Structure 1
Amino acid sequence: MVHGTHNAVEDSRNKDIKIYINGEFFTRENAKISVLDSGYLVGDGIWEALRLHKGVLVFLQDHLDRLWQSAATVGMQFPFTKEELVAEVWKTLKLNNMHDDVHVRIMITRGIKKTPSQDPRLTISGPNVVILPEYKKASPESKEKGITLFTSTIRRGSPDYLDPRLNCHSKLHEVQALIQAIEAGADEALMLDVNGFVATCNATNFFIVKDEEVFTSTGQYCMNGITRAKVIEACKINNIPCHQKDFSLFDVYGADEAFVTGTFGGLTPVTKIDGRQIGDKPFGDFTRKLSGLYHDLIDKAVLNG
């Protein structure tokens, strides 16, 4: 069985979901995009992931701001406003009668090409918009077990050629890193930046705990994670020292605890890195405390609607 940060509780309702494509709805089997789509041809697309928790799209404004920043970065013009996109998301959720424990993936590509090409001027349609909602509750067994990491030789890119903060469809280097980790017997990959400092994982952000202080990368070479930002915010609110700085594998191997963050899984503990045991239990006490503080922010977001 595949083990990692995206392990979810099986839910039979997912076989009957309706998927939004450009204003229409399709079953999973019939949800299709043209082979001339920019995302399929050259990875020219951006995406966002949201969680529906107790009827509320949690941290919605943060996700929308990140999506619009991604669009500006790649020079993609949206023919709709944030409010109009959110309305389509809610339409999709209501059609599927979804209220809780839902993961929503929004994918937007530049559109259909006249012919296979990188050239955006050969795009002959508006952006293709897909909204894919699934019943996805993180597996509690996987969270308690934790994950193992292997440090990949594939580095996170420099901001001057593919900024790691960009949520784009071009993920091949992260897939390569993950394949290395899997072949080494680990669950997921730890990735270094171009200077050899710890940056992020292939699909999540990375933190370590040492002497009840929290450390994560500078943020220049890692994904612009909303959950990462919320953990940093939770530390600030609760007077927990949290440092965004360069650190190396030397610091990682000597950490008291380590964990990764992501929209789907929240905080997931790390038990081993490159075969070295991290901490004295699968789910460290400090990581568990931080996970609780993160969920307090989710509860506050739900309360505020």
Structure 2
Amino acid sequence: MVHGTHNALDDARNNDIKIYINGEFFSRNDAKISVFDSGYLVGDGIWEALRLHKGVLVFLEDHLNRLWESAATVGMTFGFSKEELVQNIKKTLQNNNMHDDVHVRIMITRGIKKTPSQDPRLTISGPNVVIIPEYKKASEESKEKGITLFTSTIRRGSPDYLDPRLNCHSKLHEVQALIQAIEAGADEALMLDVNGFVSTCNATNFFIVKNNEVWTSTGQYCMNGITRAKVIEVCKQNNIVCKQKNFSLFDVYGADEAFVTGTFGGLTPVTKIDGRTIGTKSYGDFTRKVSGLYQDLIIASVNNELKK
């Protein structure tokens, strides 16, 4: 079994999900996009991922803002509003009769090309919009076990050629980093920035705990994670020192605890990095505390939405 931050409990209902493509719904096996799609041809697309919890799309506004910011960054015009996209997401969930423990992936590419090419002027359609909802509940066993990381030689890119904060379909460098980690016997990859400081992981954001302080990277060379931002927020609300700063593997190897964050898994503890054991427990007490505060924030957000 593949072990990592995206471990989910098997759910047979996913065999029969309906997937949204440009206003229509298709069964899993029939959901298809043209080989002339910009995302397939040159990775010219952006994406977002949401969690449905007790009928509420958690931190929806944050995710929408990030999606629209990504579109502006790559010069993509949608032709629809945030409200219209939300209605289509809700239609997709209703069509699947989904209410809880659901992961929603939204993918938007520039559209269909006249011919295989990078040139956006050769796009002959509007954006292709795909919404994939799946029943995905994180495996508590995996969370309790924690994950191991390996520091990849593949660096997080500089903002002047592919800003790491951009949620785009061009993920090959992250795939390369993950392959290195897997071949080294780890679950996922830790990635450094262009200056050699610790940046992020291949699919999640990275934190360490030192002397009852939480450290994460400056944010200049890492994914613009919503969960990352929420962890920083709950630390501030609960008088936990959380520093966004440059730090190196020297600091990581000597950390009391380490964990990663992501929309799907929330907080996942890290037990080993480059073969070195981190902390004394597979799930450190401080990490568990911050995880609980993050879960409390989700519950509060959901309750506020239900009151509206």
Q: Under a length normalisation based on structure 2, what TM-score does the superposition of the two structures give?
A: 0.99
**Residue equivalent to 1:261:** 261
> 2-side partners of 1:182 and 1:228: how far apart?
24
> 2-side partners of 1:128 and 1:120: how far apart?
14
1:27-49 deviation line (CA, Å, top 9, x unaligned): 01000000000000000000000
**Residue equivalent to 1:233:** 233
**Residue equivalent to 2:113:** 113
Letter in 2 for 1:226: I
**Residue equivalent to 2:224:** 224
**Residue equivalent to 1:245:** 245
**Is residue 163 of structure 1 aligned with residue 156 of structure 2?**
no
Letter in 1 for 2:74: V
**Residue equivalent to 2:24:** 24
Aligned partner of residue 2 in structure 2, secondary structure: coil
Shift of 1:294: 0.2
> 1-side partners of 2:27 and 2:17: how far apart?
6
**Residue equivalent to 1:71:** 71
Aligned partner of residue 234 in structure 1, secondary structure: helix
**Residue equivalent to 2:94:** 94
Letter in 2 for 1:215: W
**Is residue 173 of structure 1 aligned with residue 183 of structure 2?**
no
> 2-side partners of 1:25 and 1:84: how far apart?
16
> 1-side partners of 2:78 and 2:97: how far apart?
27
Aligned partner of residue 194 in structure 2, secondary structure: coil
**Residue equivalent to 1:210:** 210
Aligned partner of residue 77 in structure 2, secondary structure: coil
> 1-side partners of 2:133 and 2:184: how far apart?
33
**Is residue 187 of structure 1 aligned with residue 187 of structure 2?**
yes
> 1-side partners of 2:150 and 2:158: how far apart?
21
> 2-side partners of 1:229 and 1:297: how far apart?
12
**Residue equivalent to 2:154:** 154
> 2-side partners of 1:304 and 1:18: how far apart?
29
Aligned partner of residue 304 in structure 1, secondary structure: helix
1:101-120 deviation line (CA, Å, top 9, x unaligned): 00000000000000000000
**Is residue 59 of structure 1 aligned with residue 59 of structure 2?**
yes
> 1-side partners of 2:246 and 2:153: how far apart?
18
The ranges of structure 1 where at least 4 consecutive aligned residues each deviate by more than 3 angstroms after the TM superposition are none
> 2-side partners of 1:4 and 1:304: how far apart?
32
Runs (5+) with no aligned partner, structure 1: none
> 2-side partners of 1:125 and 1:139: how far apart?
40
Aligned partner of residue 15 in structure 1, secondary structure: helix
Aligned partner of residue 207 in structure 1, secondary structure: strand
**Residue equivalent to 2:5:** 5
**Residue equivalent to 2:296:** 296
Shift of 1:24: 0.2
Runs (5+) with no aligned partner, structure 2: none
1:89-146 deviation line (CA, Å, top 9, x unaligned): 0000000000000000000000000000000000000000000000000000000000
**CA RMSD of superposed structures (Å):** 0.2
Aligned partner of residue 270 in structure 1, secondary structure: strand
Q: Under a length normalisation based on structure 1, what TM-score does the superposition of the two structures give?
A: 1.00
**Residue equivalent to 1:41:** 41
> 1-side partners of 2:297 and 2:163: how far apart?
28
**Residue equivalent to 1:129:** 129
Shift of 1:261: 0.1
> 2-side partners of 1:101 and 1:228: how far apart?
20
Letter in 2 for 1:264: F
Q: Tell me the percent identity.
A: 86
Shift of 1:148: 0.1
Aligned partner of residue 4 in structure 1, secondary structure: coil
Shift of 1:196: 0.1
**Is residue 84 of structure 1 aligned with residue 84 of structure 2?**
yes
> 2-side partners of 1:262 and 1:145: how far apart?
17
> 1-side partners of 2:301 and 2:60: how far apart?
9
> 2-side partners of 1:218 and 1:281: how far apart?
27
Letter in 2 for 1:159: P
Aligned partner of residue 19 in structure 1, secondary structure: strand
Shift of 1:194: 0.1
